[in-house]
Amino acid sequence: MIRARALQATFAALVTTLLPAAAAVAAPAPAPIDYVALGDSYSSGVGTGNYRPDSGNCLRSDAAYPALWAKSHTAGSFAFTACGGATTQDVRDKQLGPLNDRTGLVTITAGGNDAGFGAILSSCVFPASDASCDAAVNAGIDYASRTLPGRLDGLYREIRAKAPKAKVVVLGYPRLFERDVCPLSFSLHKRDSLNHGADELNRVTAGRAQSAGFAFANPTSRFAGHGICARDPWINQLDIAHPVESYHPDVDGHARAYLPTLNSATGQQSLDPVASGGS
């Protein structure tokens, strides 16, 4: 009798232990999400080095954060229309076709090209003076403050009209530079000025995204310590052989900074521990 009771108690303990695991296994899978990725080169994956053959000059990459998110989450469909060099008007004219009332998630980076991202960097390259770099950055900030808000508002309204049920995540831009000793890069003054420009662009973009009822996801903290001039940079330095990839996130920048930023904004975790890892 004592032995039988002991066996019953052991069986009951095993059942109690296994029930949570069984419940976890039986938990329903997340519903598939129809995902559309819009935006410029920071969304298309310029800088990662490998591009889809059918993407032409848009340089879309399977190593870009939108493709990584779609691969590691439950994506019912994935439309990847982001294109390197795109302005807000380019997004409106060429990228919104896949949006509809079934779209569940939209991501976008936009505004950097409107504000003259490439021209500003060119104005800061040696032998340009700190003063001329400051002038270019300040002109970009002035544009971002005065003109860009209206362009973003128009784009965001059109996205909402075409995808009324979607969660829309607007992602910002990283600071490109660290303040470490870096003799082959921009002067410290220029790096600080360019980083300030990125902060101002993010400030304006965040305000317009929030006004539209969209989420704003800032990748700055994820890139911290991994900008140009860091020991382990996740952003490409000036590359004379492949200039278009210069000053863009590399594979690590997308997998280890942008993807976790998007995961946090969508309330999900990557299924790939390497992709979602930290520094």
User: In angstroms, what is the C-alpha Rg of the chain?
Assistant: 23
Active site residue 41: yes
- The residue from 41, 43, 44, 185 that is catalytic is 41
The H or E element that residue 76 is part of is strand 75-80
Closest CA to 111 of 35, 58, 170: 170
**CA–CA distance, 160 with 170 (Å, rounded to integer):** 13
Q: Are 156 and 212 in contact (CB under 8 A)?
A: yes
Q: Region of 121 please: left (phi>0), alpha (psi -120 to 50) or beta.
A: alpha
- The residue from 43, 72, 73, 248 that is catalytic is 248
DSSP state of 228: B
Helix (H, G, I), strand (E, B) or coil at 227: coil
User: Given CA atoms 141, 247, 123, 88 in this order, what sign does their dihedral have?
Assistant: negative
How many other C-beta atoms can be found within 10 angstroms of the C-beta atom of residue 237? 15
Helix (H, G, I), strand (E, B) or coil at 241: coil
Q: Which residue has the tokens 């002035």?
A: 142
Active site residue 189: no
Active site residues: 41, 248
